[in-house]
Amino acid sequence: MDLPKDLPDVDGFVAVEDCSRIGDIVYVRFEGGLWESFLIADCSGSRETSRWMDRNGIGFEVDYATAVRWDTVGYGADVEILVGQRIGYACD
């Protein structure tokens, strides 16, 4: 699925296991901080990666800029997650 040229104003981007969720927005709070909005912009794309995510309790992966901001580059973190809205992107 292609994302539109004009992306919504979000704090970051995440990749999830389920490709049908691309275009959804989720709200994530890291270490009791402020809620941040994230666009689901990517997915695992393979059964092997999906199984790895499930086996290791990985709900999603954040973009590099977020990992740097949260000081979590290279390792996981416990977060709180709220499911938001679906933007409803369509492929051109």
Mean pLDDT of 74-82: 86
Identify whether 32 is part of a domain: yes
The verdict on residue 7 lying in a domain is: no
Percentage of residues in the chain with pLDDT exceeding 90? 38
Vertex 66, ends 24 and 18: CA angle to 5°?
30
**Is 1 among the domain residues?**
no
In a domain, 54, yes or no: yes
Q: Which domain holds residue 59?
A: 12-86
Residue 85, pLDDT > 70, answer no
Read off the CATH number of the domain in which 66 is found: 2.40.40
SS3 of residue 70 by DSSP: helix
| Domains identified in the chain, total number | 1
Q: What is the mean pLDDT of the chain?
A: 84
Whole-structure pTM value: 0.81
